[in-house]
Amino acid sequence: MTVYVNDSDLVQYVPMFFAILIGLCIVLWLLFFFLKAKDDSKPLQTVRGKILEKPIQQGNIEWYVVECEDGRRLKLRSFQANRVIIAVGDVGVISYKGETIQAFQREG
């Protein structure tokens, strides 16, 4: 059995492919800014804590599990992975809004 594909059939799908790709990029971009705006509307909180683990890094977004002085554990993210360098075991003062780390001041 032989299947023949005409080149003109494939050419008609190229614009649709790029339209879907551009639409997906726009949706992801809007989701990123929606998450940032949602966290920026919350009050700034500052705690002293220790970084227990860094489970996930997705591109420029890093997630951290933080244990506060009072025993609470928080899962916080940083959209500034290339500017705010945090390692597992670091102890310091963490300022965050919502789930987003705004600043980290290492101690010691």
Find the CATH number of the domain harbouring 70: 2.40.50.140
List pLDDT tens digits, range 47-97: 999 999 988 787 778 899 999 999 999 999 888 777 778 889 999 999 999
Residues 31 and 49 in one domain: no
pTM score, two decimals? 0.67
Domain count, the chain: 2
Could you give the percent of the chain with pLDDT greater than 90? 42
Full residue range of the structural domain in which residue 14 is found: 7-39
Question: How high does pLDDT run on average in the chain?
Answer: 86
**Mean pLDDT over residues 9-19, rounded?**
83
Which pLDDT score, from 0 to 100, does residue 76 have?
A: 92
Phi–psi pair at 84, nearest 5 degrees: -100, 110
Residues 50 and 96 in one domain: yes
Which pLDDT score, from 0 to 100, does residue 54 have?
A: 87
Residues 65 and 99 in one domain: yes
